Amino acid sequence: MTMLTILQMTGIFALYSVITVGIPALFFHGKVRDRRALERLMVYFTIGNFYIMHIVFALELMHIANRITLITAAVGIAALAYIIKVLRKGKVSENEELNRVLERIIAGLTVLHKGLEGIIGFKTFVKMLFGSLYTQFGRFIRKIFSFVKNNLIETLLFATLATCLVWVYGQNYANLYGYAFSDLPVHNYWINAMDENNIFAAGVYPFGYHCIIFYMHKVFGIDTYVLLRVFGFTQTFYIYIMLLLFIKGICRSRYAAYAGCLVYAGYDIYNLECTRRYLGALPQEYGMLFILPAVYFAIKFFEVRKTEIDEGLLKKKWHVDSSWYLVGFALNFAMTIAVHFYDTVIAGIFCAGIMLGFAFRFFRPRYLGRIVVTVLAAVIIGALPMGIAVAQGKPLQGSIGWGINVILGKASQSSTTSSDVNKEADKEAQEEKETKAAADGNTGNAAAGSSEVAPAAGGNSGSSPTAGSKPSQNSNSGGNVGGNSSNSAGITALLTGAYKNIDSGLTANVLRFRIAYFLPAVLACAALAALTGILMLIFHRWRYVAGYNVTQYGAVLVSVAVMSVLMLVLVSLKRLGLPELMDYNRARVYYAYLLTILMSVIVDIPCVLLGGVFRKRWIANLLSLAAGVAVIALGFGYNLVRQPFTTSRLETNGAITCLTNIIHDNKDNTWTIVSANDELRMLYGHGYHYEPITFVHLRESKHDNRRITINTEYVYFYVEKRPLDYLHPYAGSGQMVSEEGAARSTPAGSGITVYYGENRWVIMSKMYYWAQKFMKLYPDEMTVYYEDDEFVCYRLKQNPYSLYNLAID
C-alpha cells in the first residue's frame, strides 16, 4: 500500500503539472519566450489553473458537467482560440502553419486507419503513430540535460530543497493513508455532489479548489478520495515553488531565494501548526498558490509601465506589455477569491504594502486608473460563479458566516451549531473546533499557544496601559508640561504593552521554542529593508547599478517591509485586544510563509550593494551562494534540521488498505461497508455505507421480532481493535476493545459526535464481540478479510435474495 501511495503521489503530481503548466506552455511559449524562466512558469501556471477552474464552474452552473463535456470544452476552446489566431494572420489557404497542422492530422488519421485495418504491422503502426511524439520527447529531455549542465549550482540547490520537502512532508503522505483533517470528508462530499451537477451542495462557498479536484477525478477517472489523500503533497510542493519563484523574481542576487526557502522548509524553528496544514489537500493552502503570482505581476506592472511611459508607447493603449501583467494579476487575484477568502485577505495586505512602496507612481493617473479597473475586474471575475449561484437560488454556506463572525469577534457562536443529517455535516460545523483540538492533542507548542492567547490579550493590552495612564493624569494638578508628560507616559506604556503582547504571541503561536530577540530581529530586518529602499528611492539618479534598476528595487524593499509589519499585526490582533480579520490558527500559517520573503531580502541586500559597488553581478551571486551554503551547513551543524512530519490519525491504515482492496476485488454496488470512519464519502460510486451506531441501536432494540438486513452480496464490517479517539482524547485513549466497553450503555444521538473519544471505544467493543459471535454461528459466510494489530475487517457473503438477519444477541 505504501508503494501504491507513492506511485499515486508521483502520478498525480505529474498529471497536475502537465495540465496546469505543460499544456499552457505548448500554446503560450511563443508569447512569453523572451521572458525570464520564472515568469514563464508563473504565466503557464496561472493560465492552466484559471482555464480548468472556470470551465468546470461554467459547466456545473449549466448542469452539464461530465467527462465528455469537460474534455470537449477544454479541447474545443483551445482549438477555437488557435483557429482564430491563424485566421487573423491571413487567409486559410495561404497560411502555411495551418496547412502543416492539417497535413499532420490527415497523416495521423491515415496511419490510424491502416493500423486498425491490419494493413501495417503493430510495430510499424506504433513507430509511425508515435514516432513524432518520441522525437519531441527526445528534444525535451535533451533540453533538460542542457539546462542542468548550464545551471548546475542552481539545480543542486533546487534538488536540495525538493529533497527537503519529500523528507519533511512526503513521508507522512506515504505512511499514513487516511485523511489528516476532519473537514476533508466534507469537501469529499461536496465534490461527490458535483458528479451529479450539484455544485454548492451545502451552499455557496469558494469552490475553485473543488473544481480542480473534480476535473482530475472526472476526466482522468481518479477516485476523489485518492486525490484528497495524496494531492496535498503536490499542492505543498507548488506552494514552495511559487515562494521560490517570487523571491527570485524580486531579488537581484541569483541564490538569495534558496537561503530563505531552505530555512522555511528545513529548519525546525516554527510551531508545528504553522506548517501542519500542508499535510492535507485543503482549500486555504491551495489558494496560497495564487497569492505571490498576483503580487509579482503587480510589481512588474509598475516597472514595465514606467518603461512604456519613458519610451512613448502609450499610443498603443492596451496592446503593451504592462496590460498583460495586469491581466496576470487579475486572474490570480480572482482565483484567490474563487478558492478561499483568507487568501484574498493576504493578497490584499501585500497589495497594501505595494501601494505604499510604489506610492510615488501608484497615485498617478497613468497608473491608478488601470489599477482600479483591474481590481474591480478581478473581484467580479472571482465572485461571478458564486453570484450566479446565489441568483439561481442557492443559499450561502455556513463557513462564510463563520468567517464574518471571526472578524466580528463572534466565531464561537457559529461554531456551536451542528446538524444531525449525517456525520459530515457535524464535521463541517465544528471544523475550527476540531482543528484546535488537533493542535492541543498532538503538539505541545500548539496547546501552549492556544492556552495563552486569551489571557494575554485581555490582561495586557486591554488594562495595563489604561491603568498606567489615568492615575498620572489625575495626579497632575494642571499645566501643559504635566499634561504632556502624562500623555507621553501613557503612550509609552501602551506601546510597551503592545510590544510585549506581540512578542509573547510570536513565542506561543509562531515559534517552536523561544528564540531570544526574535521580534527585535524581525523589526530590525523590516526597518533595514525599508531604510535601504527609501535611500535607493531618494538617490534615484543612480538608476542602474551593476545592471539593477535601483528605483524599482527600492520600491520592492519598502513594499516587503510594509507587508512584514502588517502581517505581524495580523497575527497579533487578538493579543492586542482588536477584532481578528482571521483566526490566528490560520494567520500564523501565512505569517511564517511570508516571513521567508523578508529573510531572503535581507540576505539579498548586502549582496546587491557589494555587487553594485564593484559593478560586478557575479560578486552578488557568489555572496548569495555562500549564504545558501551557510544555511545548509548551519542547519546540520546546530541540529536544526526538521524531522519528518507526523499528524494525528482519523483513520487507520488498515481501513484505507481494505477500501482499496474492496473496490478492486468487487463489482460496483455489490457491497456495503459498516464503519465509523470516513468511508461514507470515500466509496461514492462504488458501494454503500452503513452506520455502526444505527446498527448497534437496532440490535439493542426491544422489539420481539428484531430484524436487521443489509441488502448487498457482500458486507464488510470495520472494527478498530484499538479504537481511535478522533481528536477527542479521554483517560483511556489508546486502550483495546474489551467486554467492559461492550457492556457500557450505547451512546445516544447520531452524527459524528457519537464516534468521539470514549464513545468510539464503546461502539467498537460492541461491534467486535458481535462479529466474533456471528462468525461462530456462520463460520463459512463470516470471515476475516483483513487484520493487523489495531484493525480488523470482517466480510459477510450472503445471497442477496435470502439475506441474513444480523440482529443476534
> Average pLDDT of 611-629?
84
As a residue count, the chain comes to 809
Position 475 pLDDT exceeds 50: no
Question: Which residue has cell 477516485?
Answer: 223
- Using CA atoms, how far apart are residues 40 and 28, in angstroms rounded to an integer? 9
Question: Distance between CA 396 and CA 30 in Å, rounded?
Answer: 43
pLDDT at 447 over 50: no
CB proximity list for 477: less than 8 A, separation 6 or greater: none
Read off the pLDDT of each residue in 619-642 and give the average, rounded to a whole number.
86
CA distance 201 to 210: 12
At 206 the pLDDT is 93
Q: For residue 28, is pLDDT > 90? A: no
pLDDT band at 466 (very low <50, low <70, confident <90, very high): very low
Asked whether residue 525 is assigned to any structural domain, the reply reads no
- Compute the mean pLDDT over every residue in the chain, rounded to the nearest whole number: 83
In the structure grid, which three cell numbers stand for residue 722, read together?
484499538
Phi-psi region of 106 (alpha: psi -120 to 50; beta: other; left: phi over 0): alpha
pLDDT top residue among 147 and 74: 74
Q: Output 210 or 34, whichever has higher pLDDT.
A: 210
The model's confidence at residue 669, banded by pLDDT at 50, 70 and 90, is very high
Going by C-alpha positions, the residue among 784, 752, 647 that lies closest to residue 175 is 647
pLDDT of residue 20: 95
Q: What confidence tens digit (pLDDT) does each residue in 372-415 have?
A: 999 999 999 999 999 999 999 998 887 776 655 655 556 543 33
Among residues 408, 431, 458, the one where a domain terminates is: 408
Total domains in the fold of the chain:
2
pLDDT digits (tens, 9 = 90+) for 572-602: 888 888 888 888 889 999 999 999 999 999 9
Q: What are phi and psi of 575, to 5 degrees?
A: -70, -25
Please report whether residue 478 resides in a domain. no
Q: Give the number of other CB atoms < 10 A from CB of residue 770.
A: 22
**How large is the average pLDDT for residues 185-192?**
94
Using the structure block, give the residue that is written with the C-alpha cell 435474495.
801
Q: Highest mean pLDDT range out of 95-99, 143-147, 305-309, 689-693?
A: 689-693
User: Residue 468: pLDDT band by 50, 70, 90 thresholds?
Assistant: very low
CA distance 162 to 168: 10
Beta carbons of 154 and 254 less than 8 angstroms apart:
yes
Please check whether residue 110 lies inside any domain of the structure. yes
Domain containing residue 783: 653-797
> pLDDT tens digits for 226-260?
999 999 999 999 999 999 999 999 998 999 999 99
Distance CA 745, CA 58 (A): 51
In a domain, 355, yes or no: yes
708-717 per-position pLDDT tens digit: 899 999 999 9
Of 408, 436, 471, the one marking the end of a domain is 408
> Binning pLDDT at 50, 70 and 90, where does residue 12 land?
very high
Backbone φ, ψ for residue 783 (5° rounding): -130, 165
Give per-residue pLDDT as tens, 508-565.
788 887 777 889 999 999 999 999 999 988 876 555 554 568 889 999 999 999 999 9
306/295 Cα distance (integer angstroms):
17
Alpha helices in 204-290 (DSSP H): 208-220, 224-250, 256-266, 283-287
Average pLDDT over residues 481-497: 71
> Residue 152 pLDDT more than 70?
yes
- Reduced 3-state DSSP string for 224-236: HHHHHHHHHHHHH
DSSP-assigned states of every residue in 501-570: HHHHHIIIIIBSS--TTHHHHHHHHHHHHHHHHHHHHHTTTS-EETTEEHHHHHHHHHHHHHHHHHHHHH
Whether 648 maps to a domain, the answer reads no
pLDDT of residue 492: 82
Report d(CA 723, CA 730) in Å as an integer: 12
What value does the mean pLDDT take over residues 250-274? 91
Strands 714-720 and 671-674: parallel
Residue 225 has pLDDT above 70, yes or no: yes
Q: Tell me the pTM.
A: 0.84
Q: Which residues contact 336 (CB under 8 A, 6 or more apart)?
A: 287, 290, 291, 294, 343, 344, 346, 347, 382
pLDDT at 457: 34
pLDDT score of 749: 75
DSSP characters over 793-809: EEEEE-BTTB-------
pLDDT the model gives residue 98: 54
Residue 94 is assigned to a structural domain of this protein: yes
Confidence of residue 792 (pLDDT cuts 50, 70, 90): very high
Mean pLDDT over 113-125 rounds to 69
Helical pair 480-505 and 550-572, crossing angle rounded to 10 deg: 90
HEC secondary structure over 326-388: HHHHHHHHHHHHHHCHHHHHHHHHHHHHHHHHCHHHHCCHHHHHHHHHHHHHHHHHHHHHHHH
Whole-number Å distance between alpha carbons of 794 and 314? 74
Q: Is residue 60 part of a domain?
A: yes
Share of the chain above pLDDT 70, in %: 81
Show which of 377, 392, 408 is a domain's final residue: 408
pLDDT value of residue 596:
95
pLDDT tens digits for 410-440?
654 333 333 333 444 444 434 444 333 333 3
Contact 710, 690 (CB under 8 A): yes
Spatial distance between the Cα atoms of 213 and 209, rounded to a whole number of angstroms: 7
Most confident listed range (125-134, 176-185, 379-388): 379-388
- The answer to whether residue 587 sits within a structural domain is no
